[in-house]
Amino acid sequence: MREAQPALGFIAPDYNATVTRAVHWAVPFWMRQTTDLQQVEAKHLETLVQAYEQFEAGKIRLVLAFRHPSVNDPLALGYLFSQLMPPAAKDLGIKLRTPIHSHFMYDRGVPLWAGEIMGWLFSRLGGTSIMRGKLDRAGLKSARNLLLNGQLPFMAAPEGATNGHSEIVAPLEPGIAQLAFWCAEDLAKAQRSEQVVIIPIGLQYKYQHDAWPNIEALLTDLEAQVGIVSPDQGKVEQPLMYARLAQLGEQILHLMEQHYSQFYHLKLATIDPALPPSQQFAQRLQQLLQTALSVPEAYFNVTPKGSMTDRCRRLEQCAWDNIYRQDVDLDHLSVIERSLADRVATESEMHLWHMRLVERFVSVTGSYVREKPTIERFAETMSITWETVARLGGESSSLKRPKIGQQTATVTIGDPIIVSDRLAQYQTNRRQAKQSVETLTQELQTILEDMIV
């Protein structure tokens, strides 16, 4: 971003059934031609079909809380709605309205990197935008209205963003639980009889065939980019591959530690050499992430507060405030004022670079592959590393990701959680309301984690 832009506006939902049908028709072709994802399977699909039947009968307001490990999740869920649910409903003798779909909430930043056309498309598919780094009153009001009055169920990812790990659930955000309780309150005030129900949805990806040769080729390419020449190139034995992956991670970590200490004059503490190598790596990585975040926090004059995810969101919003200007009319600035505004936008975008690096590593443990060296864990770690190296090399994160092998996505439908049954306790007092939201959020966390196989 080299120039200041007009303020980011809220993108309101404008559901269009014709557009949705067209997208549903295209999902299988789009999925198989542009991604590794070739097949989608579902477990306990009858639970979801029956919930839709209850929703359409006016008995419940339905929230779908889905896991979000991958950028391919929307395609997997689109396949679920368009290809799997219609025959499942027919087998159960249930007639659902078509197209089978849902409203959904998405990050306002998606159309910034995916293109403005995505904002138009998401709106026509019934999506409502939300800004993650501040109190977005328009976004929350829209989501609350869709959950209460929308013609479709409402879907959102309580993790907030992808974490790149099929087998690690990121800490859930409380937004889904809070929206569900608000909806239960709104229904009670309106003297409506519907119950608010949350259905957890797990998502996990598996490779269909041996992907080790492709993983090894990607590993060799990344080694070359960071200056490593391994004598084991071309070999796909797992112990050798893990050793090379560990060396690659160590080299990237070393280069970044050196970068921040030499050019940003930030001192990194010495890690206890008596610790096992994996623990040393994990501590060094966490220290590096803290250091990287401190650079944009100093620039934007932001006090570190909350989790790393919270800090990343806050920094993103600070940058957006400097780039997408609400405080000035860009068309009526003098030449010098406009030039200064453009400079601020450029510098803000540059400082976001540090935050984007941290964002990709928030869920990285340093032991994910060592604990279970499967194709899936290797591939997920390689994908995160590829994106990191691409960013370090100045490439756009929207570049087409390398294909590793054909995948199957398994969508697991969990048991319904009736939120309305908890409303009385939620309404006891402000403290109890907060506790009720936290308890429901943690319950969702546990359910989604238990779905991982």
Q: What is the pLDDT of residue 398?
A: 54
pLDDT at 313 over 90: yes
As given in the structure block, the two tokens for residue 226 are 């960071």
pLDDT at 397 over 60: no
Mean pLDDT throughout 24-32? 97
Share of the chain above pLDDT 90, in %: 91
Contact 315, 302 (CB under 8 A): yes
Q: What is the pLDDT of residue 396?
A: 61
Of residues 388 and 334, the one with the higher pLDDT is: 334
Q: List, for residues 137-188, the tens digit of each pLDDT value.
A: 999 999 999 999 999 999 999 999 899 999 999 999 999 999 999 999 999 9
Mean pLDDT throughout 373-389? 93
Which is it for the CA torsion 224, 228, 229, 235, positive or negative? negative
What span, in angstroms and rounded, lies between the C-alpha atoms of 54 and 48? 10
Q: What is the pLDDT of residue 363?
A: 80
Q: List, for residues 324-377, the tens digit of each pLDDT value.
A: 999 999 999 999 999 999 999 999 999 999 999 998 888 888 889 999 999 999
Q: What is the pLDDT of residue 296?
A: 98
Mean pLDDT throughout 280-302? 96
Share of the chain above pLDDT 70, in %: 99
Question: 11-208+407-450: what fold?
Answer: Glycerol-3-phosphate (1)-acyltransferase (3.40.1130)
Q: List, for residues 106-125, the tens digit of each pLDDT value.
A: 999 999 988 889 999 999 99
Mean pLDDT throughout 180-205? 98
Q: What is the pLDDT of residue 234?
A: 93
Contact 136, 130 (CB under 8 A): yes
What's CA 408's distance to the chain center, in Å?
Answer: 19
Contact 8, 327 (CB under 8 A): no
Confidence category of residue 399, pLDDT binned at 50, 70, 90: low
Sequence ranges of the domains in the chain: 11-208+407-450, 212-392
Q: Which of 5-9, 20-24, 396-400 has the lowest mean pLDDT?
A: 396-400
The neighbour count for residue 224, using CB atoms within 10 Å, is 12
What span, in angstroms and rounded, lies between the C-alpha atoms of 386 and 374? 18
Confidence category of residue 443, pLDDT binned at 50, 70, 90: very high
pLDDT at 222 over 70: yes
* pTM across the whole model: 0.94
Of residues 394 and 423, the one with the higher pLDDT is: 423
Contact 85, 45 (CB under 8 A): yes
Mean pLDDT throughout 89-117? 95
Q: What is the pLDDT of residue 393?
A: 83
As given in the structure block, the two tokens for residue 199 are 């259905």
Mean pLDDT throughout 45-53? 98
How does DSSP classify residue 172?
A: P
